[in-house]
Amino acid sequence: MIIPCIDLMGGKVVQLVQGREKALEGDPPLDMLRRFAAFPEIQVIDLDAAMGTGENGAIVELLAARARCRVGGGVRTAERARSLIAQGAHRVIVGTAAFTPVIEDIVAAVGADRVIIALDSKDGKVVVKGWRQATDAAAEDVVGRLEPYCRGFLCTYVDKEGMMQGTDLNWFRRLRAATAHEITAAGGITTMEEIRALSAMHIDAALGMAIYRGKLDLAALADLCW
């Protein structure tokens, strides 16, 4: 499955490089949603909520009401997860909280089938708190113990996120070997060849910068979804 990304900051659709530097702004949120209408699911991330600098709740709710969306950004409490599901989110993406006891409260509130755990890796280690704090664990070493708390994993190769330089297929192969759960790959995916390689591993692809820069054709991507 191909999953286009809508990342929100300050009420606008943006793309960042490695979660820090804003590289571009997209069309207004509803316009982007219309551009992505051919895809079965959209990924919506509230970057302000993730970084603790604000929130884009009204836009998130609007998008979730109009499309099947997986929503992340600042999902650190059961109340936040429950609220997003109530607003129409199909699933919630949990990052930092997945490494704390709060994950049990979130699962109790919405059910494991509604949870995607973000396993974001930089320099070989899982990073949390908006990719600003490194842990001492590698994603492939912790994925197994997190399986009971989610339906699948969003695995971002932060080293190449937004850089249009390709991703690390070997990392995704190690992750695939470590879990039978759903995996969505993100971070640096730039070519149709990479997408096909991921698909052969039964890994979905969440795409951002390569779509926004026009490197990947939306019509060709939509054809892969069916």
Domains and CATH numbers, the chain: 2-224 (3.20.20.70)
- Cα-flanking dihedrals φ and ψ of residue 53, to 5°? -110, 10
pLDDT at 50: 86
DSSP readout, 86-154? HTT-SEEEE-GGGGSTHHHHHHHHH-GGGEEEEEEEETTEEEETTTTEE-S--HHHHHHHHGGG-SEEE
Q: What pLDDT digit, counting tens, does each position of 131-181 carry?
A: 676 677 888 889 999 999 999 999 998 876 755 778 999 999 999 999 999
pLDDT at 133: 67
For residues 133 and 189, give the distance between their C-alpha atoms in angstroms, rounded to a whole number: 23
* Type of residue numbered 32: M
- Rg of the chain taking only CA atoms, in angstroms: 16
- Cα-flanking dihedrals φ and ψ of residue 59, to 5°? -70, -40
So which residues are the catalytic ones?
7, 120
pLDDT at 158: 82
pLDDT at 25: 84
Q: Which residues, in sequence order, are CB contacts of 16 under 8 Å at separation 6+?
A: 7, 9, 22, 23, 47, 161, 162
Specify the residue for token string 């207004």: 28
pLDDT at 53: 87
CA distances from 102 to 69, 139, 147, 156, 206 (A): 23, 19, 15, 22, 26
Helix (H, G, I), strand (E, B) or coil at 61: helix
Instruction: Please choose, from the candidates 177, 167, 187, the residue with its C-alpha nearest in 3D space to the C-alpha of residue 141.
Output: 177
pLDDT at 66: 95
- The percentage of the chain sitting over the pLDDT mark of 90, rounded to a whole number, equals 69
What long-range pairs does 86-92 form, CB within 8 A, spacing at least 24? 87/60, 87/61, 88/61, 88/64, 89/44, 89/60, 89/64, 90/41, 90/64, 90/114, 91/115, 91/116, 91/151, 92/116
152, β-bridge pairs: 116, 182
For the record, the structure tokens of 138 come out as 């590698």
* Type of residue numbered 163: M
* Type of residue numbered 79: E
Instruction: Please choose, from the candidates 143, 116, 122, 147, the residue with its C-alpha nearest in 3D space to the C-alpha of residue 134.
Output: 122
Query: Sign of the CA dihedral 132, 189, 201, 205?
Result: positive
pLDDT at 19: 62
pLDDT at 31: 95
pTM attached to this predicted model: 0.92
**Which stretches of the chain drop beneath a pLDDT of 70?**
18-21, 130-131, 133-134, 160, 162-163, 226
